[in-house]
């Protein structure tokens, strides 16, 4: 594999733009990306270990970490090659340092430190969840601050009041299962394999969302989320149906999805109203969900707020969002020391 010279900006002095190398290894995707000025994605390389986890019905940390260790150098090289630059041309390296699987995070952090140290380039630590929020606005004219940010992923369901690229106030959090985790567990109960989100999203289109009443409520008037109750309700209902359940799978998928997503919509509206905010930004794997997009678009039209979702290729874990937010943080003066470690 050869490394071509930088094709973009030829003839311009290097100082007119910044190239950030982003590295993401928090879960089962080994990812690297080169982003110019926080918005222009020159490469976005992802090597997933998903297929090795499928038979276990969830991510196995040791398998994920081994995959990162074996692939990180190839993924970084490929991202530089695709961007058409040599490694010395990057201006800084940004890496996910939280939250995630400890061994997985440490692989990316160690690689980023080695690059930073050997090339004497700044190191920037990036929060994976805040990067998910950034993924929805990086390719657009970002909404003006403040806005409400929502992360809906495999491990988190979080609402933030965002007043700057480094000013995220946590408004609501997962008290038990995250929404993506609930999708994955319900899919397991229904024998639909892992990950559950995309398959439930597709099956729900053929089912009746009012077929079964699976209750899901906000946590005592707060902006927190709880999805373990609805998951257990699905489990008991499925058990009660015995072999009859196989004819009702689209109905179960649609009823679970509708009731779970409704709580997220309701909490989101509550947050917008409470803080009198007119922009809403969503990120994370579950933000690919077609029904959730539909529900939020209807609300945005009815209540007249701006709505930002990531393009589908930036919904799941990627390093472009890490490089992008890394650039914004760097411009605000953020610089990590070489002794940073994984924050889980
Ligand atoms: O953000 P992500 O890629 O990884 C984490 O940071 O957790 O999210 C993965 C989650 C999985 O639980 C997966 O089932 C869910 O996102 N997901 C979906 C859809 N696509 C992925 N959930 C609902 N509908 C989808 N279309
Ligand atoms: Zn994620």
CA distance 90 to 101: 27
Question: Treating both helix axes as pointing N-terminal to C-terminal, what angle do 249-274 and 228-241 enclose, rounded to 10 degrees?
Answer: 160
Q: Give the DSSP letter of residue 171.
A: E
Please, which residues bridge with residue 125 across strands? Answer: 95
Q: Which residues, at least 6 apart from 256, have a Cβ–Cβ distance to it below 8 Å?
A: 182, 186, 200, 214, 230, 234
Chain centroid to CA 33: 15
Per-residue pLDDT at 158 exceeds 90: yes
Per-residue pLDDT at 6 exceeds 60: no
Mean pLDDT of 16-27: 96
Mean pLDDT of 291-319: 98
Mean pLDDT of 102-127: 98
Among the residue ranges 12-26, 94-108, 138-152, 263-277, the one predicted with the least confidence is 12-26
Residue 24: CB atoms within 10 Å:
30
* Confidence at 112, pLDDT banded by 50, 70, 90: very high
* Confidence at 141, pLDDT banded by 50, 70, 90: confident
Q: Using alpha carbons, list the distances in angstroms from residue 344 to 28, 33, 128.
A: 15, 23, 11
- Write down the pLDDT at residue 1: 35
Are the C-beta atoms of 271 and 148 separated by less than 8 Å?
yes
The rounded mean pLDDT for the chain is 94
Mean pLDDT of 33-40: 97
Burial (CB count within 10 angstroms: exposed 0-12, middle 13-18, buried 19+), residue 77:
middle
Ligand 1: residue whose CA is nearest its atom 22:
197
Q: Which residues, at least 6 apart from 104, have a Cβ–Cβ distance to it below 8 Å?
A: 25, 26, 27, 28, 61, 64, 65, 68
Per-residue pLDDT at 63 exceeds 50: yes
Mean pLDDT of 109-130: 98
- Write down the pLDDT at residue 3: 37
Peptide bond into 195 cis (omega under 30): yes
What SS3 class is residue 158? strand
Per-residue pLDDT at 150 exceeds 60: yes
* Ligand nearest to the CA of residue 284, numbered in listed order: 1
Are the C-beta atoms of 279 and 144 separated by less than 8 Å?
yes
Residue 105: CB atoms within 10 Å:
26
Q: Residue 132 C-alpha to ligand 1 middle, in angstroms?
A: 12
Among the residue ranges 14-23, 164-173, 236-245, 330-339, the one predicted with the least confidence is 14-23
- Nearest alpha carbon to residue 128 among 24, 20, 50: 24
CA distance 7 to 89: 12
Ligand 1: residue whose CA is nearest its atom 14:
197
Report which secondary-structure segment, H or E, holds 22: strand 19-24
CA distance 173 to 157: 6
Pocket residues: Cβ below 6 A from ligand 1: 27, 153-155, 180, 183-184, 195-198, 201, 284-286, 288-289, 316-317
Q: Which atom of ligand 1 is nearest to the CA of 100?
A: 6
Q: Residue 153 C-alpha to ligand 1 middle, in angstroms?
A: 5
Which residues sit with Cβ closer than 5 angstroms to ligand 2, an ion?
153, 317
- Give me 241's structure tokens: 């149906």
* Confidence at 14, pLDDT banded by 50, 70, 90: low
- Nearest alpha carbon to residue 158 among 179, 176, 177, 172: 172
Full strand arrangement of the beta sheet holding 306-308: 167-172, 157-164, 147-152, 279-283, 306-308
Q: Residue 147 C-alpha to ligand 2 middle, in angstroms?
A: 20
CA distance 53 to 218: 32
* Confidence at 9, pLDDT banded by 50, 70, 90: very low
What SS3 class is residue 12? coil
Per-residue pLDDT at 220 exceeds 80: yes
Q: Using alpha carbons, list the distances in angstroms from residue 300 to 139, 148, 169, 280, 320.
A: 20, 13, 22, 9, 27
- Write down the pLDDT at residue 11: 42
- Write down the pLDDT at residue 12: 45
Question: What tens digit of pLDDT does each residue of 161-171 get?
Answer: 999 999 999 99
Q: Which residues, at least 6 apart from 99, have a Cβ–Cβ distance to it below 8 Å?
A: 26, 127, 128, 129, 155, 156, 343, 344
Going along the chain from its start, the domains and CATH numbers come out as 2-134+315-331 (3.30.420.40), 146-309 (3.30.420.40)
Mean pLDDT of 89-117: 98
* Ligand nearest to the CA of residue 156, numbered in listed order: 1
Among the residue ranges 5-9, 147-151, 303-307, 321-325, the one predicted with the least confidence is 5-9
- Write down the pLDDT at residue 285: 98
Per-residue pLDDT at 217 exceeds 90: no
**Overall size of the chain counted in residues:** 344
């Amino acid at each position: 594999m050869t490394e071509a010279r930088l094709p973009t900006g030829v003839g311009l002095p290097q100082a007119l733009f910044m190239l950030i190398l982003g590295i993401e290894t928090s879960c089962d995707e080994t990812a690297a990306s080169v982003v110019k000025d926080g918005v222009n994605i020159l490469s976005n390389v992802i090597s997933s270990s998903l297929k090795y986890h499928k038979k276990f019905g969830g991510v196995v940390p040791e398998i994920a970490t081994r995959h990162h260790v074996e692939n990180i150098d190839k993924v970084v090289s490929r991202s530089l090659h695709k961007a058409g630059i040599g490694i010395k041309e990057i201006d800084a390296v940004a890496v996910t340092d939280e939250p995630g699987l400890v061994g997985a995070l440490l692989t990316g952090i160690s690689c980023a430190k080695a690059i930073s140290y050997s090339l004497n380039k700044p190191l920037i630590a990036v929060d994976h969840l805040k990067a998910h929020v950034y993924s929805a606005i990086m390719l657009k004219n970002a909404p003006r601050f403040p806005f409400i940010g929502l992360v809906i992923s495999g491990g988190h369901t979080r609402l933030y009041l965002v007043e700057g690229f480094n000013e995220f106030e946590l408004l609501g959090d997962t008290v038990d299962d995250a929404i993506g985790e609930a999708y994955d567990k319900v899919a397991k109960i229904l024998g639909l394999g892992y990950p559950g989100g995309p398959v439930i999203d597709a099956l729900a289109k053929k089912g009746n969302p009012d077929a079964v009443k699976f209750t899901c409520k906000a946590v005592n008037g707060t902006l927190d989320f709880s999805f373990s109750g609805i998951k257990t309700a699905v489990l008991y209902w499925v058990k009660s149906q015995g072999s009859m359940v196989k004819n009702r799978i689209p109905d179960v998928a649609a009823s679970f999805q509708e009731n779970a997503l409704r709580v997220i919509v309701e909490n989101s509206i509550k947050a917008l109203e409470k803080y009198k905010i007119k922009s809403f930004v969503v990120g994370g794997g579950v933000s690919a969900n077609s029904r959730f997009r539909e529900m939020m678009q209807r609300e945005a039209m009815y209540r007249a707020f701006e709505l930002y979702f990531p393009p589908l290729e930036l919904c799941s874990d990627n390093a472009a969002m890490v490089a992008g937010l890394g650039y914004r943080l760097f411009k605000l003066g953020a610089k990590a020391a070489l002794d940073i470690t994984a924050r889980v």
